[in-house]
Amino acid sequence: MRKKWALNLPWIMMIASLLGFSFFYLVPFFVSFLYSIVDNPINREFCGLSNYKQLLQNSYFMRGLKNTALFMAVSVPLNMVLSLGVALVIRNIKSYSNYFSLIFLIPLATPSATSAFFWQNFFGLHGVLNKYLSVFHVDGIDWLNSKYGMLVMVIIFIWKNIGYNMALFLSGLSSIPEEYYECADVEGAGWGWKLKHITLVYLSPTTFLALIMTFVNSFKVFKEIYIITGEYPPDSLYVLQHYMNNMFLSLNYSKLVSATYILTATIVLFVVCIFRAERKFSDHLHY
């Protein structure tokens, strides 16, 4: 009896969570599809896939999509590499390593409005960065409203999220047995060899988790950018969430839902690819 209960308990707990998820997310998401095939939610005249077609022909939507893809392509791998680097350095620090970890975790606890205010004052035309640069006789640049806008967005994202991935990697690193490194030392292996053949191999499950979380968190940079630049940011900072937010404000739910479906399809495709890659990598892994 006790054995049966123990077997069923995870399922019971899963069902409770799944019900909540379905009720608040999954069902509304599928129901909202109806909005994407009508001209507008008030007239509700069936229009097939014309909303999707219009979206793919809309230059602003395409710009948002392109910027979002570019931002992710740059920021996600960069954040992964930097956070792993920080985790490795902190792990090798003999004393006060906890304090260093804390420093990197501070941005996570900083409210978005506060960090937005800070970055606005840092990158603004009359901001701190330009004041420093003026010492070297460099003319002031409105960083957010220039071709460097995307770079600013990447910096803000990495500043905010590096601590999170670092914590994940630190936890993954602590689970790698020290004996492997000792054995490699005895065999005369160098730092690079140990990183490639021990650290990265045994960190692969953590790396996979960190990758998914970074990908999800990359959508959250919108909050800071929105606070700094508002609904109509410079071209280089315009991401898909701007488009969706503006569609909501202008009551264009049909386009909003269509855009959501296109974005979801892209995300699902990406996540499926990561899962497949991870499975293949795990299959070929020889511990």
Partner 1 sequence: MRKRRKVFLALLVCMSCLLSACGKAGGETNIDQNTEQNQTDASEEKDIRNDIQEVQEYVQPEMKGEITISCLSENEFLSAAAKQFMDLYPDVTITINASEAGTVEEYQTYLNTRIMSGKAEDIIFNSFLPMAKYSEMGVFEDLNKYISMTPEFNDENYFMNVLQAARQDGGEIYMIPYMASFSVIGFSDGLLEGQTDIRSTLETWEKAGFSQSVNLVRQLVTETEKKNVFLIHSNELSYTNSLLGDSLEKFIDVEERKVYLDNTEYIDLLNAVKELSAQDLFGSNVSFYNEDYSFAISKDYDVQAAYYCLAQDSDQTYCMPLMDAKGNVVINANYCIALNSASGNKDLAWEFMKYLLSEDVQTLPSLHGLAVNRQGFEASVARYHTFYENNNSGIEEAEYGALLAGWMEQVNSCDLVDPVIWDLLNAENEKFFSGMQTAEQTAKNLQKQIDQYFNE
Question: Are the C-beta atoms of 156 and 112 separated by less than 8 Å?
Answer: no
Rounded Cα distance, 148 and 166, in Å: 26
Q: Per 3-state DSSP, what percentage of the chain is helix, strand, and coil (rounded to 5)? A: 80, 0, 20
Considering beta carbons, is residue 61 or 215 the nearer one to partner 1? 61
For residues 56 and 93, which CB has a smaller minimum distance to partner 1 in the complex? 56
Q: Could you say which of 2, 4, 126, 286 contacts partner 1 (CB under 8 A)?
A: 126
If one asks whether residue 34 binds partner 1 (CB under 8 A), the answer comes out as no
Identified binder of partner 1 from the candidate list 2, 6, 7, 43, rule CB under 8 A: 43
Letters for 135-164 (x = contact with partner 1 by CB under 8 A, - = none) are -------x--x-------------------
Nearest residue (CB) to partner 1, 36 versus 199? 36
Q: What is the smallest separation between the CB atom of 243 and partner 1, expressed in angstroms?
A: 7
32-33-37-40 Cα dihedral, nearest 10 degrees: 10
| Backbone φ, ψ for residue 276 (5° rounding) | -65, -45
- Distance between CA atoms of residues 122 and 154, nearest Å: 15
Residues with Cβ within 8 Å of 235's Cβ and at least 6 positions away in sequence, in order, are 63, 149
Question: Which of these segments, 39-47, 106-114, 175-183, 189-197, binds partner 1 (CB under 8 A)?
Answer: 39-47
* Cα(154)–Cα(148) distance, integer angstroms: 10
Stretch that binds partner 1, among 44-52, 130-138, 155-163, 185-193 (CB under 8 A): 44-52
Interface map 234-253 toward partner 1 (x if CB under 8 A): -x-------x--xxxxxx-x
| Sequence-ordered list of residues with C-beta below 8 angstroms from that of 97, at least 6 positions apart, any chain | 90, 91
Cα–Cα distance, 143 to 126 (Å, whole number):
10
Contacting partner 1 within 159-218 (CB under 8 A): none
Closest distance between partner 1 and the C-beta of residue 131, in Å?
A: 15
112 is a contact residue toward partner 1 (CB under 8 A): no
Candidate residues 29, 50, 181, 213; the one interacting with partner 1 per rule CB under 8 A? 50
User: Which lies closer to partner 1 via its Cβ, residue 164 or residue 243?
Assistant: 243
Judged by CB under 8 A, which stretch of 42-50, 87-95, 194-202, 219-227 contacts partner 1?
42-50
Site for partner 1 in 60-79 (CB under 8 A): 60-61
Comparison of 60 and 100: residue with beta carbon closer to partner 1: 60
- Which letter does DSSP use for residue 239 in this model? -
- C-beta separation of 71 from 150 below 8 A: yes
| HSE toward the beta carbon, residue 59, CA cutoff 13 A | 1
Strand partners, 46: 38
CA 48 to chain CA mean position, Å: 33
d(CA 118, CA 155): 13
The least CB distance from residue 43 to partner 1, in Å, is: 6
The residue ranges that bind partner 1 (CB under 8 A) are: 37, 40-43, 46-50, 53, 58-61, 125-126, 142, 145, 230, 232, 235, 243, 246-251, 253
